[in-house]
């Protein structure tokens, strides 16, 4: 067992390095900090600008690829590749929207705890690994997958199924994002991205609004949002892994949070 743990240490260090880069830790010494490095206004500005720029680029690409598909414009990519490129751009747009909303909803409704960590770009090693696996699976299919069955030569059932999965993913992502953000707004100062070991004076157990419909709407939204992103990408392996890993993560987290909320 010790040999296995030792052999995994380089991978763990690599994941730590990736998370550090995503969180812009290398800029800490160059930016002005307020109440510690996690509150750096400079890093907040750079992360927001970066995510906003990536969002704008991929959203514009989504609109362009949708126009190509609708007008049958002669493009250098095959029709099936154009459709896959559209799903990728929508996926990245959804990812950036999620991380931007995590920060800005926290900033508006729980400003006392807002920090660069509120973007959740460095959520956890498992989150980073999952994103890498999903990206690898998609691009392996995009670059090396069989494109013989293009939309114009595929059967109506093939096209219908492809569209059904894509639309299901889009609906799931949007609805889950709304549930997640609405839960954070409703909780306000009682919401925190990290489980608290001590109960704050202003902490309350919210049971009305969206919390009267779902006991853990923020977890529900996050869980089904992650699955929806893989439906959009048509990633069967990552979709299954996300469902299993997410279920395991929240099944362990919910009992712990329940004890804190009710203490």
Give DSSP secondary structure letters for 97-123: HHHHHHHHHHHHH-GGG--GGGG-TT-
pLDDT tens digits, one per residue of 184-193: 999 877 777 7
Q: What are the helix (H) ranges across the chain?
A: 2-22, 41-71, 79-109, 125-144, 156-187, 217-233, 236-261
Of the listed ranges 80-84, 154-158, 193-197, the least confidently predicted one is: 154-158
- Going from the C-alpha of 150 to that of each of 30, 55, 65, 84, 91, the distances in angstroms are 50, 28, 16, 11, 21
Residues 92, 224: Cα–Cα separation, whole Å: 16
136: closest CA among 237, 41, 222? 237
pLDDT per residue over 197-234, tens digit each?
666 777 777 888 898 898 889 999 999 999 999 999 99
Q: How confident is the model at residue 115 (pLDDT cuts 50, 70, 90)?
A: confident
What's the confidence (pLDDT) of residue 247?
A: 87
CA-to-CA distance for 244 and 240, rounded, in angstroms? 6
**Considering only 28-37, 92-101, 130-139, 224-233, which range has the smallest mean pLDDT?**
28-37
pTM confidence score: 0.83
CA neighbor of 93 nearest in space, from 23, 20, 170, 162: 170
Task: Classify residue 211 by its DSSP letter.
Answer: G
Q: Are 189 and 110 in contact (CB under 8 A)?
A: yes
Report which of residues 209 and 62 the model is more confident about.
62
Higher pLDDT, 21 or 51: 51
CB atoms within 10 A of CB 217: 24
Burial annotation 77-100 (CB, 10 A radius, 16+ → b, else e):
eebbbbbbbbbbbbbbbbbbbbbb
């Amino acid at each position: 067992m010790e040999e296995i743990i030792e052999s995994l240490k380089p991978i763990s260090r690599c994941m730590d390095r990736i998370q550090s880069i995503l969180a812009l830790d290398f800029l800490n010494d160059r930016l002005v900090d307020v109440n510690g490095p996690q509150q750096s206004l400079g890093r907040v500005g750079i992360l927001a600008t970066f995510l906003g720029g990536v969002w704008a680029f991929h959203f514009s690409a989504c609109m362009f690829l949708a126009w190509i598909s609708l007008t049958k414009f002669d493009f250098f990519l095959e029709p099936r590749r154009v459709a896959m490129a559209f799903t990728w751009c929508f996926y990245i747009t959804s990812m950036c929207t999620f991380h931007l909303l995590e920060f800005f909803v926290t900033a508006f409704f729980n400003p006392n705890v807002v920090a660069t960590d509120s973007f959740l770009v460095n959520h956890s090693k498992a989150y980073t690994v999952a994103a890498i696996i999903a990206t690898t699976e998609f691009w392996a299919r995009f670059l090396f997958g069989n494109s013989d069955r293009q939309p114009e030569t595929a059967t109506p059932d093939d096209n219908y199924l492809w569209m059904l999965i894509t639309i299901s993913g889009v609906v799931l992502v949007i609805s889950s994002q709304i549930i997640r953000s609405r839960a954070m707004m409703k909780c306000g100062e009682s919401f925190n991205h990290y489980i608290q070991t001590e109960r704050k004076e202003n902490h309350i157990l919210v049971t009305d609004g969206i919390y009267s419909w779902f006991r853990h709407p923020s977890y529900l939204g996050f869980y089904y949002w992650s699955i929806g992103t893989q439906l959009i990408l048509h990633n069967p392996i990552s979709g299954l892994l996300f469902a299993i890993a997410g279920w395991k993560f929240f099944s362990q987290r919910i009992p712990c949070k329940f004890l804190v909320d009710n203490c």
